[in-house]
Amino acid sequence: MIIIAAAAAATAGLCAWLITRSVYLSRISALENMHQKEMESTEKLAAQAQDNYERALKEMKETVTASVAAETQKLLKEREAELSKGNQTNMEGILKPLKESIESMQKAMKDNETSHVETTAKLSKQLEQAVKEMTEKTSDVGKKADTLSEALTGRPKVQGCFGENFLNDILVREGLKEGEQYTREAANADKSRPDFVFHFKDGMDEKDLIVDSKVSLTAYVEFMNADSEEERSTALDRHVKSVRKHIDELSGKEYTKKTSKSFADYVLMFMPMEMAYRTALTADPMLWQDAYRKNVLIVTEQTIIPFLKIMNLTWNKYRHDTRIQEITVAAQNMVDRVADFYTQYIELGKKISAVGAAYNSGVTKLRPEGRSITTSATQVIELGAKLSKGKELKVPEPIAGIEDVR
């Protein structure tokens, strides 16, 4: 009985233990499930938190980057504006005088060009007017010859002076200046004296053209006044021979070989009486060609005008080119002076900096510290010395931006 009772008690105890264990295991399983769910929930929350963190961090980075970029851009623009304004102010101070000088130079060059064009047009108009006047005067040459015949015939010296003065009047009328554009009776090295030397301008060089006046009127007047055909023929023959004699004499002087500035290989033989020349040329058609082969070019009051116009044009061009050179030199001098000013101003800045440094060094030595003179003066005042009325020991302020030199 005792054994049965003990077995029953053991069985009951075992059952109770099994039941308890079962309950315990159930609870453990429930707790494990709960813990698993909590872990899964925690992981989800952690993942969500990580996502939220990364999203917030990204947004913050973008915000900060945009803000920094905007601020940087703003600062750069402000700095750029300050630098631009400062540079503009400095450059305006330097370039304004230079700009004004260049504008003045450009205006001078433009005015000079306008003047040159106007002068050329004026000369062209004068040439047309001169040709017209010469054409009108040609018809009157015969009358002039008749009027002067009594005074000129038989007097070679008078004829020579007449021819020279006649040509000189033409030169004056054309506005040419004696001593500059032409010379009268200038002596050569061999003492020969051509009536005129025309001075042309070839760039900056000068070229000379010899002009000699030759008047053949004696035989021509006899030809015009002859009563018979025989007398006219004889007088005409002597007139042609007189003209050819002048050609040979002028050719024999070889004026072009006596100067290194010859404008051409020929000289001009000026015949003031157009009809006298035309009469000789009609009687001897080869007269002009033979003269030219001997380096003598026959000209009259009409045909010498183009030479004078050309001479005037070369001088106008020379004056124009000279003025351009002067403007160029002036511009170069101006630029050089600006460069010199920069150099001097830089040196002045260095000297000012050196003076400022020396000044600041002196200010340092005046400070009431150590063994400065201010310290000594203060000690004397403390011993009973007094400052005069209106006097004070005040250390001056140093110049800002310059380091103290100790």
pTM over 0.85: no
pLDDT, greater one: 20 or 95: 20
- The confidence score (pLDDT) of residue 132 equals 59
Mean pLDDT of the chain: 76
Average pLDDT over residues 358-380: 77
Residues facing residue 267 across a β-bridge: 296
Average pLDDT over residues 198-227: 86
Residues in Cβ contact with 299 at an 8 Å cutoff, skipping those fewer than 6 apart: 268, 269, 270, 271, 307
- Report whether 176 contacts 311 (CB < 8 A): yes
- pLDDT tens, 302-317? 899 998 998 889 899 8
- The confidence score (pLDDT) of residue 240 equals 92
Q: Which residue has the tokens 């050569």?
A: 188
pLDDT-derived band at 246, boundaries 50, 70, 90: very high
- pLDDT tens, 177-205? 988 989 888 767 666 788 898 998 888 88
- How far is Cα 44 from Cα 246, in angstroms, rounded to an integer? 133
- pLDDT tens, 21-74? 676 667 777 766 776 776 776 677 657 766 765 675 566 556 645 655 566 567
- pLDDT tens, 135-165? 555 555 445 545 545 545 545 556 667 888 8
pLDDT, greater one: 126 or 148: 126
Domain residue spans of the chain:
140-303
pLDDT, greater one: 298 or 160: 298
- The confidence score (pLDDT) of residue 28 equals 72
- The confidence score (pLDDT) of residue 109 equals 66
pLDDT, greater one: 10 or 381: 381
pLDDT-derived band at 296, boundaries 50, 70, 90: very high
For residue 287 the two structure tokens come to 């007269």
Average pLDDT over residues 230-235: 90
Written as one string, the DSSP assignment of 91-129 is HHHHHHHHHHHHHHHHHHHHHHHHHHHHHHHHHHHHHHH
Nearest alpha carbon to residue 266 among 308, 210, 186, 201? 210
pLDDT-derived band at 406, boundaries 50, 70, 90: very low
